[in-house]
Structures are given as C-alpha cells and as structure tokens.
Structure 1
Amino acid sequence: MNQTTIVYTSALCPVCGMVKSFLDTLEIPYQEVNVDMNPVAMLQLITKTRRLSVPQTKINGKLISGFNPEKMMQALNGSLL
C-alpha cells in the first residue's frame, strides 16, 4: 500500500482531532500540516480549496473537507485496488 495522506489542521480545531483519531484508529500514517504555524501552507491550501476552513485531508491527491469518514474510506480504498 503506497499512499500519501496529509491532514491540514489548526490548533483550535476540534474536528481536526476527529480526523486524526479516525486515521489513527485505521492505522493510516499521515503527515500533519498545522496551518497556524505555516502561513505558506495556509496560502497554498486556500489556493487549492478556495476555503478558509480546516481540516482538509488530502488522500492520494483527493482533497476532503471536514470530517467525512465515507469519503475518506473511498479515497483510502481506491489506493488499495
């Protein structure tokens, strides 16, 4: 399984914790990018998503907004085929 998962987060975001817990439960490795501490990443994320909100989860190139387990599983399962 060769997949890339990035979770864009903010320190004050409770939903970000839900996404990370979900991925941890599934034992899916991910890279966390805290946009509070990384203004360049924040601007890149806003450019890609046209949103000011986190969490944004990128699984194999697909961006998923908020905590959406169904879409996350679809993106993860697509990488297993």
Structure 2
Amino acid sequence: MKQLLSHIELVEALKTNPDAWLLLFKRGSEQSDCAFGNYAKAAEKVEGASFLWADVNEVKDIHPVYQITTVPSLMEFKGGIMVNVVKGCHQHEQFKSLFENKVFTASQASEEKPAKNVTVFTTPTCSWCTTLKRHLDANHIRYREVDVSKDQKAAEAMVRRSGQQGVPQTDINGQMIVGFDRERINRLLDIR
C-alpha cells in the first residue's frame, strides 16, 4: 500500500499502474479508521493490484477533482480513469471480494455498463429487500447493503432523505426509491 500526498502523486502512480484502488479517508473518524483497517487487511491478501491511500486531513486536492464529497470512499481506477466509488466501511472480506472481482471482470470491461453508486437499505426480515437484492445480483449490479435495524444513524439518514421509514429503500446516485419499484430501478440502472 502506498500513501499519496497530492493529486500529482496520484497521476504519477496511475501512469505506472493505471488499474488501481485508492481509499480516501479521514484519520480519526470512526468510519474512516474502520475502512482503512479493513482495506489494509484485504490489500495484504490480494496480489497483482495497486493499493493507494490518502488522508483528507493531509491531502486536499484529490477529492475535489473526482467530486468525492464524503469519506471513506474507495475509488477504483481502470486505465487511469475512475470507474467506480464504494462509500463507507466494509468488512475486509467485502473489500477482498471487490478486489478479486475486479481482476476477474477485467476482460469483460467492454461489455460492462458505467458503475452507479447504489445503496440498499434493508432489514433481515424484509422479504421485498431479498427480492430487490436478488434482482440487483441477477443483473450484476454492485451495491452496498445497510441494515437499518443495526445502524440507527443510517436509519435516521434514510428517513431524512426519503421521508419514509419502510424498507427496502434504494439510493441510486443520490435518487431515493422507496419499495421495490422495478421499472424505476431498471431505468436508473440501465437494466433491460
């Protein structure tokens, strides 16, 4: 793993290895420290990829270039271009799966749709949540799942954004969808 101290260092790193992962985080923040620890643990277990990190306490010129407004954010670069952003703290196994999936799907790059930032708010007992997740999985849509029964802050943020308490709710690039509205989800995610 390599620490970056400026956008210029990122540009140089991408010249050497245009397929890379960059974690932007804020040291001292619980979510960011969680993400950094799990990112580092996962990076140790995956070979053949370039793993970078930058602390926004020290580096102020990377996140504005890529319009990253929240940290922690894991940025995926292919061919030197940012193609995906995964926000929040995830278990090291989830990070590892992302890294390995990137290696596995690299040959399919020409067929893939541009990545969307998708978050699914769920509870363990919600049958429509399961239906929604199966639909996303069947269409190879990457998403982050937030169990609002275990994360009170996420539940409050979800209600503030949509005005609704029920699940499932889906955030697709900032647009909230309440319930399993297949047509709207398909339209926003370009699923045919």
- Aligned partner of 1:40 in structure 2 is 153
One-letter code of the match for 2:128? V
Superposed structure 1 runs of 4+ greater than 6 Å apart = none
Residue ranges of structure 2 left out of the alignment (5+ in a row): 1-113
- Please give the alpha-carbon distance, in whole angstroms, between the structure 2 residues aligned to 1:17 and 1:2: 22
Task: Work out which of the two has the higher radius of gyration on C-alpha atoms and give 1 or 2.
Answer: 2
CA distance in 1, matches of 2:145, 2:163: 20
Q: Which has the higher helix share?
A: 1
Superposition RMSD in Å: 1.2
User: In the aligned structure 2, how far is the partner of 1:60 from the partner of 1:75?
Assistant: 9
Aligned-residue offset at 1:65: 1.0
Aligned residues: 78
Which segments of 5 or more consecutive residues in structure 1 lack a partner in the other structure?
none
Identity %: 32
SS of 2:121 mapped into structure 1? strand
Contact 2:164 2:178 in 1 (8 A): no
**Counterpart Cα distance in 2 of 1:60 and 1:74:** 13
Q: Aligned residue for 1:31?
A: 144
TM-score with structure 2 length normalisation?
0.39
Deviations 1:13-41 (A, max 9, x none): 11000000000000100000000110000
Q: Which residue of 2 aligns with 1:19?
A: 132
Could you tell me how far apart the structure 1 residues matched to 2:119 and 2:173 are?
A: 9
Partner of 1:56: 169
Counterpart code for 1:16: C
CA distance in 1 between counterparts of 2:153 and 2:131 reads 24
Which structure's relative contact order is higher, taking Cα pairs within 8 Å and 6+ residues apart? 1
Partners of 2:125 and 2:158 in 1: CA distance: 17
